[in-house]
Structures are given as C-alpha cells and as structure tokens.
Structure 1
Amino acid sequence: MTEEDDPMFFEVIAPEQQTLPLVFNSPHSGRVYPDRFLQSVRLNAQEIRRSEDLFVDELFSAAPAFGAPLQRAFFPRAFLDVNREPYELDPRMFNGPLPAHINFTSIRVAGGLGTIPKIVAENMEIYDSPVDVEEGMARIEKIYRPYHQSLKRLMHETRRRFGHAVLIDCHSMPDGVGAGAARRKPDFIIGDRYGTSASGALAFAAISILEGMGFSTAYNKPYAGGFITEHYGRPANGCHALQIEVSRRLYADEENLSKKPEFIGLKQALTLFIAELADSLDDIMEATALAAE
C-alpha cells in the first residue's frame, strides 16, 4: 500500500439476504501493510507478520453463503488492534503527549499489546523510534472507529431483524501454551468471557459441534475473549458474542507463513461448523430465552 493509495481498511461481505442472526468477524487476519509503516519498523517483512491470525478470514469465508455477514480487516494487527479499547496506549511509545483519557494501566498495554502494539509475537519490538502522536491518533480515528461503527451497525440491524444477534469473533492461536512450552493447546478454544458475553447454551453448542467433528476443545482457557467479545456480548439485551480460536498447527506453517495442505480440509470442516450452528440456532435461542425466564 503506497501513500497515493485510497485504501479500503476493511470490508463487509454481505449475503444476498441475511437469513441468520449471525455476524462473523475477523479482526486480525489483515495482511495489507502500508509502505510508510514498513519504513518505520525495525522488523523485516517476515517478522512483522508474526501477529497475524493467518488466513482466518478465508477459513470462515463460507458464512455469507449461509446468510450471515462477514466483516474482515485488511490492515494488520501489528499496525492497529481493534480488539482493544480505543485508547489502550503506552505513552512511552509516542513522541508527544497523548490525550488524558488514555488507558495506560491495562495488562495488555503492560504486555506491549495495546491498541497500537509495541511488539509482535515472541516479544519482538516493532519500532526503532517513537511513533508520531498525530499518526497514532489518525489510525484510531480513520480505521478503529469506522471498523467498530460498522460492526455495531451489523449487530444492531441483526438484532432488529431477528430479535437477537450472535457475533462469532474469529481468531487463530500459536501451538504452544507459551514460548518454548511443550504442552500443546487444543484444536479450538471457545471463549465467552466466563459466561458473561453469551448464553451458556450457545457456547456449549459450539463446543459440542466441534467435538462431534473430532476436534479437541477448551472453554475460556487460556483465551476467554478480548474487547470485542466483552463489548458486543450483552446477553440480557439479546446480543451474544463468542470468540473462537483455531490452532494454526491445523492449517498453517508458522515458519514461512503459508497454508498447509490441510487448510482445505479445515475450511470444509468450518463450513460444516457454520451449517450445524445455523441449523441449531433456533433451538439454542429458545433454550436461552427459557433459561432467562
């Protein structure tokens, strides 16, 4: 992406007609790196991509064919992370004073993973020099806010049309539990912020479908969901949000950042997952409504 480009930062792939109260979101699979950004970082073209949720937008690309919109980012997570509060920022990263309302005390900022990240995976620092304050604020105003305005509109319209809305926030995860750790993560992790962002019936239905297909799963550990799951999941108001983490070992070579041959089979499996979730959604929502009475 060059300075002369008029970039499209994200898109909504809408079905011809929305027939399901589902909204899919892929906020971290963007892989369009602005030239100016690349010139300001200390990492090479391979290293800067370590934070991508590799090809997750493609894994879930069948959603519109079933009648559910899919919103996906084109900008990379290393450039801007929309799965954070709008102003989770580290003042030490910038060359001037930030607005007074920033959140610089969050655990994510402390870990270098704020709205404008300091590091990519494996604690690799992104920048050689401080980020210009105006540049940082422009990313938030021009990309972060429109992204969330769009997602909010999708959820609002879905709930208005169907009486409830279910957000599936799609991510991927590295294989190991931690750097150098030998213990392997499960194939999928379903997160609902420990039961606060979605009905239990919805979370357990997703787990049941995946396990019925032969995958190993975990619930909320080690990933319970980020800002998007927490912010959009309001079960009492008819809005539910689940985070789904897919292990990259199932479909990607993390060394050269490419698809494995198994990618096709996993995409087919996730297409079946979408179909089965869609088929069972009325029963799930009915069980949810009865539990709330």
Structure 2
Amino acid sequence: MNQDVYTLEAARVPLLVSMPHTASAVPDDLARTMTAEGRAAIDADWHIDRLYAFARELGAGMLTPRYARYVVDLNRDPSGASLYPGRSVTELCPTTTFDEAPIYRDAPPDAAETARRISAYWRPYHDALGAELRRIRETHGVALLFDAHSIRSVVPRFFDGRLPDLNLGFGGGTTAFGEIVEGLAGIAGTSGYSHVVDGRFKGGYITRHYGAPGDGIHAIQLELAQATYMDEAPPFSFDEEKATALQAVLRDMLGWLLDWAARR
C-alpha cells in the first residue's frame, strides 16, 4: 500500500518493522524556509531501510515515511511532551540539528504550522501503524513491532562518550514481555557488538505508545550506532562489509521474535 506520506508493505507474519526516521526528503515549500543543514536532513537514520531490507524475506511488514524527521518527528508525542524530561531533546517539529545548528533561516514553525504538519504527515503514518498492528494481532493472535533507528555514535548533546553499538529499548520493561527482553538481550550479548538494554534510548513515542503486552502487542526499539554499518560523515556512505556482519545479528533478532510468536 502506498500513500502520499508513507509506504506500508503489509506483514505476512506477526512482525512489523517501522522506520520512522529513514527518510531525508523535505517538501519544496518547507525547504525554502530552511538552512542548508535543514535541507540536507543530516540527522536522518541513514540507510535503515536498506539495512533491514532482508526482513521482507521473513515476511515482515515494512513501514517507512516519505519525508524527513525535520518536517515532523514521527517518534515524538504529538502533544509535544518530552520523552526524556530534564534532558536535551529535539522537538516534534525540530528547530535545531543534533549539533544545535538552526534548521530554519527565520522563524521556526508556530503552533498552527505544527498542527498542520501533525495532520498532514504525522497522523497518516500513525493511523497506518496502528491499523496494521491491529490487523496482525487479529490474524496471528499477537503482534510484534520492531522500531528501527540509528544515530551517530558520538553526539555530545544527547550522551557522553561513544554510544554502545546496539541499544535495545523496552520502555523500562513495559513494552514487551520479560522473555522477549531477555531473548534479544541474549543475542546482543553474544554478538560481538557492545550493547545496552534501556540505556540512553529506552524507546521513543512509537515503542512506548503501541507496546501493550497485556493486549498482545509487543514493541521493541533498536537504536544502532551508525558506525556499525556506514560512514558517519557526509556523504554518509553505506559500508557493505560492516552492514553484512550487522545484518546477521539483526536477522537473528527478528528470527528469534518470529520463533517466539510461533511458540505462543
């Protein structure tokens, strides 16, 4: 299914992979108001759709947006509430890059413009996400949501030092059964990559909002350090050798989730 602001490939198995930050396009009317950094969408989760392309072979659903997070952040609360109170975060409609450079040449989006973007871009993505999770659960008895992200391994604004390679988030243990947390953490722990569970990234709005284990929907966020599969400096090149090694671990994780669902 294709829409103007997202693409949804329906799941054949009880797994949906959401990639809310993989896009880098900016509508022309908004691009004219932005700085060069804003137009370049430099904080995209680069190549995540390419990295997880193998999930189609498993029968997983795939949901991707058309436009960059600078237009509106699909992984933020539409009310504007902070996911990490007291810490530096980017807004629902970001006004600065991760390095705190301005995204807009003049005034940032006001309340009316923010509401327009929620209606035009944020809501359609979430309507599709919620509907597909419900369909999966009705079809299979359980739905698994894997929210796929990546970020530069060093971003002083958000965390000290270098980020672990694999950052699993379960909303502090609230978005999936404990056996899922243990299973995926076990794979990460033997992968050869550094990892953490519910560390700096505990899962964003998507993971925390849709994860409802008691209702048969389990949500996981995986934030990857981009150094594990790409060049973190422009032009942000995909590293085939690194990516192939990482994909073996990701395949193990998604395969484990599907095996778990089959045992339920």
Q: TM-score range by the shorter chain?
A: 0.7 to 0.9
Match of 2:225?
247
The runs of 5 or more residues in structure 2 that have no matched partner are none
Counterpart of 1:124 in 2: which secondary structure?
A: coil
Counterpart of 2:7 in 1: which secondary structure?
A: strand
Match of 1:72?
64
Distance 1:265 1:138 in 2: 42
Distance 2:207 2:257 in 1: 19
Equivalent in 10, 13, 22 of residue 14 of structure 1 = 10
Equivalent in 113, 128, 133 of residue 90 of structure 2 = 113
Equivalent in 122, 127, 138 of residue 144 of structure 1 = 122
Query: Once the 2 structures are TM-superposed, how far is the Cα of residue 259 of structure 1 from its aligned partner?
Result: 1.5
In structure 2, the CA distance between the partners of 1:45 and 1:279, relative to structure 1 (3 Å rule), is: closer
Match of 2:17?
24
Match of 1:100?
none
What is the identity, as a one-letter code, of the residue corresponding to 1:123? E
RMSD: 2.7
Bigger radius of gyration: 1
Match of 1:158?
136
For residues 74-106 of structure 1, give each alpha carbon's deviation from its aligned partner in whole angstroms, at most 9, with x where no partner exists: 210111101111231xxxxxxxxxxxxxx5x77
Equivalent in 191, 201, 206 of residue 228 of structure 1 = 206
In structure 2, the CA distance between the partners of 1:246 and 1:282, relative to structure 1 (3 Å rule), is: closer
1:73-88 matches, within 5 Å, as 73-88=65-80
Counterpart of 1:123 in 2: which secondary structure?
A: coil
Q: 1:48 touches 1:120 (CA, 8 Å); kept in 2?
A: no
Distance 1:180 1:156 in 2: 34
What is the identity, as a one-letter code, of the residue corresponding to 2:24? R
In structure 2, the CA distance between the partners of 1:180 and 1:30, relative to structure 1 (3 Å rule), is: closer
Match of 1:36?
29
Distance 1:133 1:152 in 2: 25
Query: Once the 2 structures are TM-superposed, how far is the Cα of residue 192 of structure 1 from its aligned partner?
Result: 0.2
The runs of 5 or more residues in structure 1 that have no matched partner are 1-6, 89-102
Distance 1:8 1:257 in 2: 27
Identity %: 27
Distance 1:179 1:112 in 2: 8
Query: Once the 2 structures are TM-superposed, how far is the Cα of residue 130 of structure 1 from its aligned partner?
Result: 4.0
Equivalent in 240, 248, 254 of residue 264 of structure 1 = 240
Match of 1:99?
none
For residues 27-84 of structure 1, give each alpha carbon's deviation from its aligned partner in whole angstroms, at most 9, with x where no partner exists: 011111112111101x215774232111112111111211110101121011110111
Q: 1:60 touches 1:267 (CA, 8 Å); kept in 2?
A: no
Query: How many residues align structurally?
Result: 261
In structure 2, the CA distance between the partners of 1:180 and 1:108, relative to structure 1 (3 Å rule), is: closer
In structure 2, the CA distance between the partners of 1:245 and 1:181, relative to structure 1 (3 Å rule), is: closer
What is the identity, as a one-letter code, of the residue corresponding to 1:118? T
Distance 1:65 1:27 in 2: 21
| TM-score normalised by structure 1 residue count | 0.79
In structure 2, the CA distance between the partners of 1:179 and 1:140, relative to structure 1 (3 Å rule), is: closer
Match of 1:191?
169
Distance 1:181 1:68 in 2: 32
Match of 1:95?
none
Q: 2:31 touches 2:38 (CA, 8 Å); kept in 1?
A: no
Distance 1:180 1:84 in 2: 16
Q: 2:21 touches 2:149 (CA, 8 Å); kept in 1?
A: yes
Greater CA drift, 156-165 or 197-206: 197-206
In structure 2, the CA distance between the partners of 1:126 and 1:174, relative to structure 1 (3 Å rule), is: same
Q: 1:168 touches 1:244 (CA, 8 Å); kept in 2?
A: yes
